[in-house]
Structure 1
Amino acid sequence: MVEVKEIHKSFGDIKVLKGISTTFEKGKTNLIIGQSGSGKTVFLKCLLGLFTPEQGTISYDGKVYSELSADDKRELRAEMGMVFQGSALFDSMTIAENVMFPLRMFTKQSKSEMEDRVDFVLKRVNLADAHKKKPSEASGGMQKRVAIARAIVNNPKYLFCDEPNSGLDPKTAIVIDNLIQEITQEYNITTMINSHDMNSVMEIGQKIVFLKDGLKAWEGSNETIFKTDNETVTDFVYSSELMKKVRQMYLEEKQ
């Protein structure tokens, strides 16, 4: 579990995060949503340890990040996996080499041990025969699956995903959503996903934190979000006519 208590983050005179508190549960897909400028990207970077909040604490299974030694922080980072918005694969490396990169950085495994682990995670994301391909030879959906394989190769406790469906067609986006949720539950990972994709919210949003102007405006699940009368949330979630119809159908079905 990741627990956030009253974190504040500013850049100069601009206050981006203004006292956010929440928890992200193990074995669940936890989504962070909000409009552009709401603070969700800065929030995710604070969770990753890339930004240091001026106030408040972030705890990982009871370990307060700001109180850890440099060595302990390095150990914690080795337990984190990251799926970047643009996949962020190394063009000069093969897919297998990309996936192996965190093992080279954080472990002392032998080459054969690393190769076995790479084989395992590539099979897990249905890319068993893609080892020798370069990222440029892979489709957008394949590149996302490679990014997920790389993120889980070190058997992380915490998985961070920044807009994992960005640039994907709707069908492929659903495949990626389902894969992230399956892996989260299968390995009991604490997964945090930055997203603006309402399909993702409705499909895999077991815990949703909605940010607005640097504040937590609402939190709940993909079931309770239909029931909320919080206008800030409903204005964001049901901005399209399609989503308004989906909500109305849901409410009528529950009556």
Structure 2
Amino acid sequence: MIQVKDLHKSFGDAHILKGITTSFEKGKTNLIIGQSGSGKTVFLKCLLGLFEYEQGSIAYEGKNFSDLSKTEKINLRSEMGMVFQGSALFDSMTIAENVMFPLRMFTKQNKSEMEDRVNVVLQRVNLENAHNKMPSEASGGMQKRVAIARAIVNRPKFLFCDEPNSGLDPKTAIVIDNLIQEITAEFNITTVINTHDMNSVMEIGEKIVFLKDGLLEWEGSSETIFRTENEAVTNFVYSSNLFRKVRRMYLEENN
């Protein structure tokens, strides 16, 4: 679990995060949503430890990040997996070498142990025969699965995903969503996903945090979001005719 309390972050005179208090639950897919400029990317980078914040606290399984020593912070970061928006694979490395990279960085495993672990995670994302391919030979969906394999190869306690469906067709996006949700539950990871994809919100939003102008405007689940009367949420989530129809059908069936 990650617990956030009264988090503030500014850049010069620009106050980006304005006292956010929330939590992200273990074994569930936690989504951060909001319009451009709402602060969700800055929030995610604070959670990753990439940005220092002026006020508030972030606790990872009860450990306050600000209270940790330099060594403890390094150890905590080794327990974090990250899926970047553009996959961020190394073009000069094979898929297997890309996945092995965190093991080389953060562990003292020998080559045989690392290869065994790479085999396990590539099999888990249904890429057991892709070891020797280069990223340029892989489709967008395959690259995302490689990125997920790399993110979980070091058995992280925390998994962060920045727009994991960016650039994918709707069918492939659903596959990636389902894979992230399955892995989250299977390995009991605290997963935090920064997304603008409303299909993801509806399909895998077990905990949803909606930011507006740097404030926590609303939080709930994919079920409770159907019933909310918060105008900012409904305007954002149900901006398309399709989602408005889905919401109307849901409310008619459950009233």
Q: Same fold (TM over 0.5)?
A: yes
Letter matched to residue 121 of structure 2: V
Match of 1:188 in 2: 188
Instruction: List alignment gaps of at least 5 residues for structure 1.
Output: none
Equivalent residue runs for 1:194-209 within 5 Å: 194-209=194-209
Task: Name the SS for the 2:82 alignment partner.
Answer: strand
Q: Distance in 2 between matches of 1:134 and 1:11?
A: 39
Instruction: List alignment gaps of at least 5 residues for structure 2.
Output: none
Equivalent residue runs for 1:239-254 within 5 Å: 239-254=239-254
- Matched positions, count: 255
CA offset at residue 253 of structure 1? 1.0
Q: Deviations over 1:104-141 (max 9, x none)?
A: 00000000000000000000000000000000000000
Match of 2:46 in 1: 46
Q: Distance in 1 between matches of 2:55 and 2:83?
A: 27
1:123 aligns with 2:123: yes
Task: Name the SS for the 1:145 alignment partner.
Answer: helix
CA offset at residue 78 of structure 1? 0.5
Letter matched to residue 102 of structure 1: P
1:98 aligns with 2:98: yes
Letter matched to residue 91 of structure 2: D
Q: Distance in 2 between matches of 1:7 and 1:254?
A: 37
Letter matched to residue 40 of structure 1: K
Letter matched to residue 185 of structure 1: A
Q: Deviations over 1:144-169 (max 9, x none)?
A: 00000000000000000000000000
Match of 2:140 in 1: 140
1:67 aligns with 2:64: no
Q: Distance in 1 between matches of 2:253 and 2:156?
A: 40
Task: Name the SS for the 2:16 alignment partner.
Answer: strand
1:226 aligns with 2:226: yes
Match of 2:55 in 1: 55
Q: Distance in 1 between matches of 2:110 and 2:103?
A: 10
Letter matched to residue 29 of structure 1: T
TM-score by length of 1: 1.00
TM-score by length of 2: 1.00
Equivalent residue runs for 1:28-47 within 5 Å: 28-47=28-47
Q: Distance in 2 between matches of 1:98 and 1:240?
A: 38
Task: Name the SS for the 1:127 alignment partner.
Answer: coil
Task: Name the SS for the 2:127 alignment partner.
Answer: coil
Q: Deviations over 1:219-239 (max 9, x none)?
A: 000000000000010000111
Match of 2:214 in 1: 214
Task: Name the SS for the 1:164 alignment partner.
Answer: coil
Q: Distance in 2 between matches of 1:167 and 1:253?
A: 34
RMSD of aligned Cα (Å):
0.3
Task: Name the SS for the 2:143 alignment partner.
Answer: helix
Equivalent residue runs for 1:153-192 within 5 Å: 153-192=153-192
Q: Distance in 1 between matches of 2:225 and 2:150?
A: 32
